[in-house]
Amino acid sequence: MMVVVTGGSGSGKSAFAEEKVLSFGEMERFYIATMYPYDEESYKRIKRHQNMRAGKKFHTVEKYTDVGSISFPGNSTVLLECMSNLTANEMFLPEGAGMDCAGKVIRDIGILKEKVQNLVIVTNEIFSDAGAYEEETRRYLKNLGEINQGIAGLADELYEVVYGIPVRWKGEAFQ
């Protein structure tokens, strides 16, 4: 089972994704943390997410690029948070795939999906903002949009969390 959860900043998508993971039962749980800690604000955000997961029996794997290379027990549940950080890391970190990373990330997600029993992915809805952006930002948005479309195609269920309310866009109950 692969589930994609999207929503705006502060929408409650992380909490919903964690609850979705817990709903799969008492199997081994892994959390792929993709936020590269580069400043005080990122360390605070990481700590907040760690506190949210406390007591939920997650094993944390910090992996900023190449998530398809991670090994997991086949009967495990994995929460990957989040796609927007992973995309930025693949684009801008020296070990990443570079400016045209969408294909690499989508392939890696396909690999992860085959390795585990359940995969839950958190991504961000950042496409509603208006404004003129630098070329680098436009390329980032293009890559993240392609990745979100690709993983939505791979997903069994897709949710958008709006004001803490999950709206199912794809899955058995939606059809």
Asked whether the whole model's pTM tops 0.85, one would answer yes
- Residue 7, pLDDT > 80, answer yes
**Cβ–Cβ under 8 Å, residues 97 and 106:** no
Per residue in 51-90, pLDDT (tens digit) is 878 888 999 999 999 999 999 998 999 999 999 999 999 9
pLDDT of residue 1: 97
Kindly report the average pLDDT of the chain as a whole number. 92
Q: List, for residues 31-40, the tens digit of each pLDDT value.
A: 999 999 889 9
pLDDT of residue 133: 78
Q: Provide DSSP, 82-131.
A: -HHHHHHHHHHSTTS--SS-HHHHHHHHHHHHHHSSEEEEE-----S--S
Tokens at 115, concatenated: 């390795």
Residue 50: partners with Cβ closer than 8 Å, 6 or more residues away: 60
175/139: higher pLDDT = 139
Beta bridge partners of 118: 77
Domains of the chain: residue spans and CATH: 17-164 (3.40.50.300)
pLDDT of residue 129: 67
Q: What local confidence, expressed as pLDDT, does residue 152 receive?
A: 96
Asked whether residue 147 carries a pLDDT value surpassing 60, the answer given is: yes
Distance set, CA 87 to CA 110, 126, 134, 147, 162 (Å): 15, 13, 17, 8, 23
Q: Residue 132: what residue type?
A: A
Instruction: Supply the pLDDT for residue 132.
Output: 74
